[in-house]
Chain A
Amino acid sequence: GEDVEQSLFLSVREGDSSVINCTYTDSSSTYLYWYKQEPGAGLQLLTYIFSNMDMKQDQRLTVLLNKKDKHLSLRIADTQTGDSAIYFCAERKANQFYFGTGTSLTVIP
C-alpha cells in the first residue's frame, strides 16, 4: 500500500548473508519495521528502527536506514533454511502502517 516497494524474490545459499531492500514513501515516517511471514501464518515482528537512527543490530539481523534516499534494508547474517519466508517492510506514518508487497526469501541448502 502507498507504494512501499520491495523486490519480489531473493535466493541465497545457506550460510551466506541475505540483504532485503525496501524503498518507502514518506521521509516523515517515524518508525520502519521488518516483519516475517511463514506460509499460512500471520506476520511476526522481527525488528524496527526509529527514523533518527542509521543502523540497528539485533543478533543476526542488521537494519540500515538511509533517510535521504528513503531506503531501508535488512541483512540476515549466516542465513539458515528456517529463514525461508516472506519478509515485509512497513512504514508508520500518521499512526497508520503501510506494508510493502513482500520479498520471498529462499534459502538453498
Chain B
Amino acid sequence: EAEVAQSPRYKITEKSQAVAFWCDPISGHATLYWYRQILGQGPELLVQFQDESVVDDSQLPKDRFSAERLKGVDSTLKIQPAELGDSAMYLCASSLASDYTQYFGPGTRLTVL
C-alpha cells in the first residue's frame, strides 16, 4: 500500500538554528499539506499545495517558516531560525485532490533546545 514518506523522523536542534523537513506524497496525489501538531492537540494546517502552487498558507508564520514543492511532487518545510515554541510534530499529508481524503505520513518530531 502506498504511503506518505517523511524524513527525518526525529530532529533535535538548538534555538536560532535552521531545520528542514522533507515529505514525499503518495504517487499521483496532487494536493499536499503540512500540519503542525503540538503535544495534546489536534493537527493544525500550516500550508496546502495544489501541484507546485501554494493554495493556503494563511497559518504559516512566514517570518521564519517557508515551504516549497518545486516540481509538484515532494516538498520541503523549513524553519529559520527555530524557536523553543516550534517544538512539535510536523505532519505531512497528501490527497488526490483538495476534496479527497487525506493520508498522513509518520511525522517529524522536532525538539528545540
Given contacts A40-B109, A43-B91, contact A1 B104 (CB under 8 A): no
The interface centre, meaning the residue of A30, A41, A48 with most chain B CB atoms within 10 A of its CB, is A41
Q: How far is the CA of A40 from the CA of B109 in the complex (A)?
A: 8
What sequence of 0s and 1s flags, for each residue 40-54 of chain A, a beta carbon within 8 Å of any chain B beta carbon?
A: 111111001000000
B residues 44-61 near A (Cβ < 8 Å) are 44-45, 48, 56
State the main secondary structure of chain A at its contact with B: strand
> Do A44 and B43 have beta carbons less than 8 Å apart?
no
With A35-B104, A43-B91, A92-B99 already in contact, 7 other A-B pairs whose C-beta atoms are closer than 8 Å: A33-B101, A42-B104, A42-B106, A43-B43, A45-B102, A97-B102, A102-B41
Contact, CB under 8 Å: A96 / B45: yes
**With A and B bound together, what is the CA distance between A88 and B105 in angstroms?**
15
A101 in contact with B101 (CB, 8 Å):
no
B56 touches A96 (CB 8 A): yes
Cβ B42 vs Cβ A88 within 8 A? yes
Question: Given A33-B101, A43-B91, A95-B98, do A4 and B42 touch, yes or no (CB 8 Å)?
Answer: yes
- Number of residues of chain A lying within 8 A (CB) of chain B: 23
Residues from chain A with a CB closer than 8 A to the CB of B101 are: 31, 33, 45, 48
**Do the beta carbons of B103 and A45 come within 8 Å of each other?**
yes
Q: Does A99 sit within 8 A of B, measured CB to CB?
A: yes
Kindly list chain B residues whose C-beta atoms are within 8 Å of the C-beta of A97: 33, 45, 102
Subset of 6 A-B contacts with CB under 8 Å: A41-B107, A42-B91, A42-B106, A43-B93, A44-B104, A45-B101
A88 to B35, CA, bound (A): 14
B46 smallest CB distance to A (angstroms): 12
**Is B85 an interface position by the 8 A CB rule?**
no
Q: Which residues of B contact A40 (CB under 8 A)?
A: 107, 109
